[in-house]
Structures are given as structure tokens and as C-alpha cells.
Chain A
Amino acid sequence: MTRNALGLFRDPDSALAAAGRLKGAGFERPELMSPIPIHGVEEVLGPKKSVIKRFTLVGGLLGAISGFTLAAWTAVLYVHPTGGRPIITLPPFLIITYEMTILFGILATVLGFLISARFPAIRERIYVPETAVDRFAVVVACSSDDLLQRAESILHEAGAEEVRRIAEGDS
């Protein structure tokens, strides 16, 4: 069973340093939990890629196509000539296109966020409520007791205020 070592720190820099040391010692990528976004995580734990921008782009494009199609296609379905002007009238239909681009872009961004950050959480995940207040936590998964002890000593060395063992599934 996978167990996790969790170190609680009072400041983000020590937490980040501890995470870096754990990674350097060959552990799996440690996870940080914090009350505020920590800057400089990517320098220590490697770059992160977000797929959200692709979602936004695809959503926006889909919105543009469907917006224009909606306006133009429905105009053609029931032809209603007014003042000899074209049936597919660009200026007003571009406004509909514009609004639908943004609507679909927004919805796709939300979808991308939910998928890439794995929300909503269905099963229990490791969590310590202190990290929502003023503590910064480093969590690392360990496959054996030896590794667990090593991880704990690294966390202690890095200045953790408190070190806990948490099994996957309870929090």
C-alpha cells in the first residue's frame, strides 16, 4: 500500500526547498499544498503544461462557427427579404458570431479547468486543513517503509514544523 509522508512548513520557501530535495533524492514528484499560490514551483519541480489554452482555442473556434451557422442557416431556412438586402447579412451576423465565440470560449475554459485540475473530486484525497490557513505542506508518496523514513528525515532536515504519515484514502 502506498503511504505518504507529509511535512508542514511555516513558509513557502522552505517547503519548496524540501520538495526540491525530495525530488533530487529520487522520490516521485512531491505535491505542494498551500493557502496561496507559491511562485517558482516550476523552477524546482520542473515545468508544468496546461491544456486549458487548447480548450479555450477550440471552444472559441467552435463558437465562432456555430454562431455564424446559427444566424446564417436560420436566415436561409425561412427566407425573408427586407429592403433588397442580402439574406446572409454580414454585420449583424458577425455580432452573433462574436458573442457565441466568447460564450463557447468561456464554457470550454471551464471544462478544461475541471478536466486538467481533476475536479470535482470524487474520492477522498490527501488533505490537511491547516494548508487552507497558514501552513505549507509537502506530500510525497513512498512505496516502502525505508523510503518513508528517508522522506521523513529529509522533511525534518528541511525545517518542517511537523511530519505526518498519511495512507492514501484517509485525511
Chain B
Amino acid sequence: MQTEVRQARFADVNDDVVRSLVVTGRNYYIALGIAGFVTLTCFFFPWFYQLYYGIGAAGMNSPTVWGTYLASFIFWIGLSHSGTLLSCVLHLTNSEWRKAMYRSAEAMTFFSLFVAITMVMVHIGRPWFIHWAAPYPNQMGLWPNFRSPLMFDVMAIMTYLTGSGIFIYMGAIPDFAAVRDRTTGWRHHLYVLLSLGWRGTDKEWHRLGWAYTFLAVLIIPLAVSVHSIVSWDFALSIVPGLHQTIFAPYFVVGAIYSGTAGIVTVMFVLRKYMNFEHYITKLHFDNLGKLLLLLSLLWTYINMLELFTGWFSGTSTEYEQLKYKLTGFYAPLYWEMILFCAVAPLLLISRKFRTSFVPMLILSIAINIGMYTERFLIVATTLSRQYLPGSWRVYVPSLVEISILVGSLALFVTLFLLFVKIFPSISIYEIKETMGVPKKHGEHHDT
């Protein structure tokens, strides 16, 4: 009887997800241990070193006052973009394939934002004054300057962190309830609190549906504004190579691009190591691959446009900037970026490539290496070649900076590993919806 099969499978989803939370293998602890150790030694230790000896421990100089810390900041903010943004867009367009992957994608958003904010703390040198960015007057009655893009940033990123945190939590309330019934001990108490007393009544589903849709509608313009604002941190300066109107769309496209590649990486890992082969399938990789291809073409187009506007401006400083970017000290990095982000993704034209897991993993990592390079080049090539040749100076990251870059990755991995044991990393009720609603008399239909 078909219905029997269906019902059994509904229960399977609960079993699989609860198992992913409760049953923890040795490999998980090893992975968590390594990630935690690397975070400690490569992120926190160098940071304390830098706090102790001062910001001079980083390789930043004058005129290159922004270094890999800010490049990492843009990178992590960018990586955060596809998660919640993609999830919202796919929710509003009723895309079924979203349902298996959106939870982890949103978690990626939340933790990338967290790491991004930490990178700002590292960058500012004296993080104990971070509260100066909060909107309150100091003892002389002076408020923060709301005309500064840095204040736009503070407002936008805090709103985004709040919004994406709420969005991921709200979508998970029914799942917390499902997990609540199956766990014991401290986990049970935690899920009782997190589920708020969810019972799955028609009223609750109705309210959740509305609230979730409203949140999705609010978060899409928010996400677009966040990376536009990050781009204005640069574009509102008068530095050649940064002062460009294309920057806002350039950053937004780049952000969604690197974030989508990040989702592919995370999906691969979840599928392989959390035994979610039934839920995360070739279909998801195929769709994500198509999206990546589109984004890579858009990104390439905007890059060409950036070069063109620099050339078309006809000013000597912009010419110098272009020449430096294409042939100067950082040129190998530039061409590496073009190879990884513009040329290699053309492989995605082939369906066979999109549906092969390991090549997709390699490509997604390559794209993110390329995208990190892009962010590094935005900061490094422009600031080191400003107007006066007398103040041209090359910037090379110091060991502390490189170590913190590696450590920030480990910090992200650590947070994500903790997440998959606390949050149901795929959405139980939405997976059930995609499996088809049980029908009377053994008939069924797939949605």
C-alpha cells in the first residue's frame, strides 16, 4: 500500500534529523577538536599578540591603511549573502528544491556575519572602543556621524544580523518541536524553550506562514542594501579605482556569487558527512550550478565594465590604476582571480559537470579563493597607488594577518560544527511537504 510507504517515510525524516543531532561519531569530535584548536592558535592567539603589541603587528602601512582584515570582512559579509537572500527569494517563488538546503544556507549567513563582525573588531585595533559606533552621545554631547558610510555599515549589518537570526530561528520552530518530543536531558529542556510550545495547530501554521513571508519580503531588500553599503565604504572615497558607481551592484553580485559557491561547499560536506544523501541530491547541485554559471557571467560582465569605465574616464590616475592592476605587483593575483571566477565556472555549461559532486566541490572552493582575491585586490591595488607617486607603497600582509585569515575560516567551521548539533540542519516539515501529502485510499501525489 502506497500510504504505508509514505507514512513510514515521514517518520524516517524525524529519525534522520534527530539522529544527526544526537548521534555523534568520533570523526565529529576530531573535526571539532581540530577546528577549535586552529581557531585558538591561528585566530585568538595572534589577535591577542596584536592587541598587546599594537596594530603595527599587522602589515598595514600608510597609504595602505586597509589590509586583509577588511578584505576578510568584505569576504565574510559577501559569503553571508546567498544564504538568507537566496532562501528568501526561493521561498517567495515557491521553489521546492530550496527546502532541503535552506537551513544550512541560512546558518552560513548567520555565522559569516558573526565572523565578519569579528574581523572588524580585529581591524580597528582597539576593539574595546567598539561601542563608540553605537548611536548614543559621548560625554561632550557629540553623536556618531550618520553621514559616514561606516555608520551606514553599522546600522545595516546589525539589522542584517538581527533579521537573519530571526529568520532562521522562526523557520525552525516546528522542527524544534518535533525534536523536543524525541530528546531527553538538557537537549529536551533546550528544545522545550526554543520551540515556544509549538503544537502545529492550523492557527499556528497560518500565523507562521504569514510571518515568515513578511520576513522574507523584508530581508531581500535588506540583504541587497547591506552589500551596497559595504561597497560605499570604498566607493564614497575619492581613491582612483574605488570611486565608481558600479561598485554597489558589483559587490552585490560578487556577494551572491561567492555565497552560492559557499552553499555548494557546505551542501557537499553535509551530504557526505551527515548522511543526508536522500535529501540533498543531484537536483540541488544542478540548480545551484546553473545559478553559479549565471552569476559568474554577470560578475565577469561587471568586471569588464569596471575596466572600461576606468579606461573611458581618460584621467591619468585611473589609467595608472588600471595599468597597475593588470600588470603591476599584484597582477598574478588578478589573473588568478580571472581564471577562478570568470574562466573556470564556464565548465558549468555542462550538465554532467553540474551533477558531479567532487568537481562541483573543487570549483566552489576555487571560486571562493578567487572571490577572496578579488576583495584583497580591491583594497590593496587601489590604496597602494593613489594620486602622488611619492606615496606609492606596496602592501604585503604580515604573518599575523595571514594567520588570522586562516583562523577566521576555522572559527567559521567551529561555529558551523556546533550549529549542526543544535539546530536541525535540514527542515523536517518542509522535507515532508516535498515528499507529498498522504492521501486517502492509498493514492498519493507528488508535489
Binding site for B on A (CB under 8 A): 10-14, 31-38, 41, 45, 48, 50, 52-53, 56, 70-71, 74-75, 77-78, 80, 82, 89, 92-93, 95-96, 98-100, 102-103, 105-107, 109-110, 112-114, 116-117, 119-121, 125-127, 129, 131-134, 159
Contacts and interface: CB of A to CB of B under 8 A. Distances in A.
Contacts of B155: 95-96, 99-100, 103
Interface of B: 3, 7, 10-11, 14, 135, 137, 141-148, 151-152, 155-156, 158-159, 162-163, 166, 170, 174, 177-178, 181, 196-211, 214-215, 218-219, 221-222, 225, 229, 428-429, 432-433, 437-440
Could you say which of A48, A56, A112, A117 has the most chain B C-beta atoms within 10 Å of its C-beta? A117
A157 to B, nearest CB: 14
Contacts of B200: 33-35, 131-132
A78 B218 contact: no
B210 A70 contact: no
B277 to A, nearest CB: 22
A134 B7 contact: yes
Given A11-B3, A36-B432, A120-B197, A99 B437 contact: no
A35 B438 contact: no
B206 A48 contact: yes
Contacts of B151: 96
A113 B207 CA distance: 6
A99 B159 contact: yes
14 contacts: A11-B439, A12-B437, A48-B203, A48-B206, A50-B207, A53-B214, A77-B143, A78-B142, A93-B146, A99-B155, A113-B208, A116-B207, A132-B177, A133-B178
A89 B3 CA distance: 64
B163 A32 contact: no
Given A35-B10, A96-B152, A112-B211, A103 B162 contact: yes
Contacts of B143: 74-75, 77-78
A37 B180 CA distance: 19
Contacts, number: 176
Contact of B440 (A11, A102, A113): A11
Contact of A109 (B135, B158, B197, B218): B218
B152 A95 contact: yes
A131 B163 CA distance: 30
Q: Is the interface of A mostly helix, strand, loop or mixed?
A: helix
A92 B146 contact: yes
Contacts of B147: 75, 82, 89, 92-93
Contacts of A127: 199
Contacts of A82: 147
Contact of A133 (B3, B10, B162, B199): B10
Contacts of B166: 106, 110
Contacts of A70: 135, 146
Given A103-B162, A117-B204, A132 B178 contact: yes
Contact of A105 (B218, B432, B439): B218
Contacts of B145: 80
B207 to A, nearest CB: 4
Contact of A31 (B135, B163, B201, B218): B201
A117 B199 contact: no
B207 A117 contact: yes
Given A109-B211, A117-B208, 11 more contacts: A32-B202, A34-B200, A34-B202, A92-B147, A96-B151, A102-B163, A102-B225, A103-B158, A105-B218, A106-B218, A110-B170
Given A95-B229, A113-B170, A119-B196, A45 B10 contact: no
A93 B207 CA distance: 34
Contacts of B221: 102
Contact of B205 (A37, A53, A74, A92): A37
Contacts of B218: 56, 102, 105-106, 109
Contacts of B206: 37, 41, 48, 50
Contacts of A75: 143, 146-147
Contacts of A77: 137, 141, 143
A110 B229 CA distance: 25
Given A41-B206, A113-B208, A36 B433 contact: yes
A50 B210 contact: yes
A35 B178 contact: yes
Contacts of A96: 146, 151-152, 155
Contacts of B197: 119-121, 125
Nearest to B145: A80
Contacts of A131: 199-200
Nearest to A131: B200
Most central of B137, B196, B210, B215 by chain A CB within 10 Å: B210
A125 B3 CA distance: 30
B229 A37 contact: no
Ranked 8 nearest A-B pairs via Cβ: A121-B197, A134-B10, A74-B143, A113-B211, A117-B207, A71-B146, A129-B181, A37-B205
Contacts of A132: 14, 174, 177-178, 181, 200
